[in-house]
Structure 1
Amino acid sequence: MEKQIPIPTVKLGNQGLEVSRLGFGCGGLSGFLNAPLSHEAGCSIIKEAFTKGITFFDTADIYGKNHDNEIMIGKALKQLPREKIQVASKFGITISEEGQYGVKGTPEYVRECCEGSLKRLGVDYIDLYYQHRVDITVPIEDTMGELKKLVEEGKIKYIGLSEPSPATIRRAHAVHPITALQMEYSLWTRDIEDEIIPLCRELGIGIVAYSPLGRGFFGGKAVVESLPNESILAAHPRFKGENLEKNKLIYTRLSDPASKHACTVPQLALAWLLHQGDDIIPIPGTTKVKNIIDNIGSLSLRFTQLDLKEISDAVPIQEVSGSSDFDALSEYTWKLANTPPK
């Protein structure tokens, strides 16, 4: 019988939200990185995660065809104690009939999306509601103003932003306190360390790290297991051709510190992230129960500063091959790419 590691709860931001130290990214249950699961299978995974102590579940209206992921999460919530779960969802990414992605942040759209998500999730309120991507054609004050109204109406409890620039964070926070920022953060994507993390700590904003295993790379995707035919990662610069072959060497370099700490490479990568601060909550996703167990195992690892340096040095950012910019809709990465060096 496996020994279950207790998952502590921590405060996310300083507005009162408490979540499990490790969250669960639900998007992959509805495809993108692999074949989508049936609702029955997806609900089973969510219930397993909850049984093992994960209470923070992340979805979005854009995940899956026809909002499939929110509908799946809604079915799972009917089988779980709602008051013990923190649900995060997002709005703001649009898809045209031609399949083109865009962003929309008008007040009317904010409300329309929120009402739709509440209905699909089958809940009276959403614990954490993010603007999925910033619409630079709409003043952030207008978008935040509507989100603030939704808080006052009890339809959402806390407000988040995903991939905003530092200037947008400050402007948004001035309208209503931001509880959390969702940003890509992992051993091979560390851009937010320079400016975003210090700013969040100054303002009391928590950080939710999506793709904490490098979009599955540190979990072995394309290294110890082949990419599924359905995965969009085949188009990611870091998973293509020569770049992938070079990056495989980075994965191999993590084998030594993983052996030293008697853990797997994904556990090592997650534990490194957990050690960056209690205000950083990784949300790895998976379609396999064994991976949930493996991920939770990262919580028991303890590293010294020397250990952390050894792990960081094994993944030198300058040696990571291929751009991390896989997100043309991100205001943050756009600003980063278009700001002249100081």
Structure 2
Amino acid sequence: MSERIETRRLWADGPAVGAIGLGCMGMTWAYGTDSRSDDPGAVIGRAATLGVTLLDTSDVYGPFTNEELVGKALTGRRDEITLATKGGLIERLRADGTPDPTRMPSPDGSPDHLRQAIDGSLRRLAVDHIDLYYLHRPDPQIPVEDSIGALAEGVRAGKIRAIGVSEFSVEQLDRAAAVHPIGAVQSELSLWTRDHLDTTLPWCARNGVGFVPFAPLGRGFLTGAFREATFGADDFRSGNPRFQPENFRANLAIVDAVEAIAARYEATAAQVALAWVLAQGEHVVPIPGTRRIARLEENAAAAALRLSAEDLATLDALPAPAGSRY
């Protein structure tokens, strides 16, 4: 592959970023440990070299440790990177008081919490502004307008360049955009999570808003790397319905179909899965996560893969996965 990947405009008047971004969550949170992991700073440095310039983190990853890691890795590279982080989730704890990465965090979209969260992220990332700051989830107890209003204060103060939201419905997006322009929407999108194709994705296209898919590789499943559902107790997938043994075995049929297409392109299953996501629109910038430079390079190469209309149709027709998303 050429050294730097092609770029896409993240939102209508926003920065040009690599067509593939980097989700940093798994470097410290949700997927346990991996003896094959490379140094996170080296992974992020290689990402910048490749043109994988959208980095995504959150205060809840760790909690807090992921932002510190990313901030340290950005030393001397800040101007090369479009930095995204999030606030508005609170980590759930085990009985012993330690964070429990196997349980979904709880939302806190209150203005006071978000104001504190922005300042905390700036401090941990060691930056004077955040390019894209997401409300990590809507809080059912707090009006969307109040949460977005607090983030708009951050924009006016120069702490945030653009506001993003994650996992918002179209109705919530309309309400949010009435308070302040939205730069990007982050939601799950992959060959086994296609909920947003007819709703959020078209809304973003109509409104000049970027769409940033998380888990575009199905939390690693679509890479074909797993043939058995064996995950450690600290791995989020150990309790995820789609990774339970019976569902897992049924879902292997999806991977088999992706691998068959990949063989025709002399590509990997991961590259085909990412190429399908990229084909959903020029405003789409997926953020696959990895802790290994080799996987980063593999993912980045997907930006150059163009699937035929026939193969895209075959992938579109894949069955829904067995098991719910969470």
Normalising by structure 2, what TM-score?
Answer: 0.92
The answer to whether 1:71 aligns with 2:75 is: no
Structure 2 Cα separation of the partners of residues 253 and 178 of structure 1: 36
CA contact (8 A) 2:165 2:184 kept: yes
Structure 2 Cα separation of the partners of residues 255 and 84 of structure 1: 34
Distance 1:39 1:290, change over 3 A: closer
292-301 or 120-129, larger mean C-alpha shift: 292-301
Structure 2 Cα separation of the partners of residues 258 and 311 of structure 1: 11
User: RMSD of the alignment, in Å?
Assistant: 2.1
CA contact (8 A) 1:30 1:37 kept: no
CA contact (8 A) 1:222 1:239 kept: no
Secondary structure of 2:83's match? Answer: strand
Q: Which residue of 2 aligns with 1:323?
A: 324
1:44 to 33, 42, 45: 42
Residues 307-336 of structure 1: CA distance to partner in whole angstroms, max 9, x if unpaired? 2112223x222xx21112x1xxxxxxxxxx
Structure 1 Cα separation of the partners of residues 14 and 195 of structure 2: 27
- Segments of 4+ moved more than 6 angstroms: 36-40
Distance 1:310 1:150, change over 3 A: same
Superposed, which structure 2 residues align to 1:133-282 within 5 Å?
133-223=137-227, 227-228=231-232, 230-282=234-286
Residues 1-29 of structure 1: CA distance to partner in whole angstroms, max 9, x if unpaired? xx435312221122423221110000000
35-44 or 276-285, larger mean C-alpha shift: 35-44
Secondary structure of 2:285's match? Answer: strand
Structure 2 Cα separation of the partners of residues 205 and 151 of structure 1: 17
CA contact (8 A) 2:258 2:269 kept: yes
Show structure 2 runs of 5+ residues with no match: 95-99
The share of aligned pairs that are identical, in percent, is: 38
CA contact (8 A) 1:87 1:126 kept: yes
Structure with the largest fraction of helix: 1
Q: State the 1:252 CA deviation.
A: 1.4
2:90 to 94, 103, 106: 94
Q: Which residue of 2 aligns with 1:35?
A: 33
Q: Figure out how many residues of one structure are paired with residues of the other and give that number.
A: 318
Q: State the 1:189 CA deviation.
A: 0.5
CA contact (8 A) 1:10 1:19 kept: yes
Structure 1 Cα separation of the partners of residues 35 and 112 of structure 2: 33
Structure 1 Cα separation of the partners of residues 35 and 166 of structure 2: 26
CA contact (8 A) 2:38 2:291 kept: no
CA contact (8 A) 1:25 1:284 kept: yes
Q: State the 1:226 CA deviation.
A: 5.1
Q: Which residue of 1 aligns with 2:97?
A: none
1:292 to 293, 296, 304: 296
Residues 23-48 of structure 1: CA distance to partner in whole angstroms, max 9, x if unpaired? 00000000311317899921121112
CA contact (8 A) 2:86 2:135 kept: yes
Show structure 1 runs of 5+ residues with no match: 327-342
Distance 1:158 1:212, change over 3 A: same
Distance 1:57 1:216, change over 3 A: same
Structure 1 Cα separation of the partners of residues 316 and 16 of structure 2: 29
Q: Could you tell me which amino acid in structure 2 is paired with residue 258 of structure 1?
A: A
Structure 2 Cα separation of the partners of residues 104 and 237 of structure 1: 25
Secondary structure of 1:57's match? Answer: strand
